[in-house]
């Protein structure tokens, strides 16, 4: 069993093209071990319809982060989200998002209408 619980956060999951700027995409990583661990949040990979999302990579790997990014205490959760709707959802349609980290996956389906 993994030491981490991983959850992909997307809100809202049904939206119109005009609503893309308000869409937040992120994660929750919970340490289920008895020790402080490095969750390696920078290594989280987001696939959108099977393709790696460069906008996610740039967002997650840059910026200032607190100590929980490298030292997550037991039973604590690291949670972050960013406004990535315009970058991830370029046209109306159905999108299958898969977040991968340390052998864990979390999935969310998103529908974008015209």
| Nearest CA-CA partner of 95 in 59, 58, 46 | 46
String of b and e for 35-46 (b: at least 16 CB within 10 Å)?
A: eebebebeebeb
Per-residue pLDDT of the chain (114 residues), as tens digits, is 679 999 999 999 999 999 999 999 999 999 999 999 999 999 999 999 999 999 999 999 887 888 999 999 999 999 999 999 999 999 999 999 999 999 999 999 999 999
Q: Report the distance separating Cα 77 and Cα 9, nearest Å.
A: 13
Give me the pLDDT at residue 1, please: 61
Half-sphere exposure (Cβ direction) of 72: Cα atoms closer than 13 Å = 21
Strand partners, 57: none
In this structure, how many other beta carbons lie within 10 angstroms of the beta carbon of residue 100?
17
- Domains of the chain plus CATH, in order, are 4-113 (2.60.40.2970)
Taking the model in full, what pTM does it have? Answer: 0.94
Give me the pLDDT at residue 64, please: 80
């Amino acid at each position: 069993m993994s030491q981490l619980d991983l959850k992909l956060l997307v809100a809202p999951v049904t939206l119109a093209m005009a609503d893309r700027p308000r869409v937040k995409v992120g994660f929750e990583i919970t340490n289920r071990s008895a020790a402080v661990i490095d969750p390696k949040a920078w290594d989280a990979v987001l696939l959108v319809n099977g393709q790696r999302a460069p906008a996610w990579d740039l967002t997650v790997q840059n910026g200032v982060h607190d100590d929980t990014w490298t030292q997550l205490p037991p039973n604590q959760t690291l949670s972050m989200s960013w406004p990535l709707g315009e970058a991830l959802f370029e046209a109306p349609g159905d999108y299958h998002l898969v977040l991968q980290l340390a052998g864990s996956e979390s999935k969310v389906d998103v529908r974008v209408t015209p």
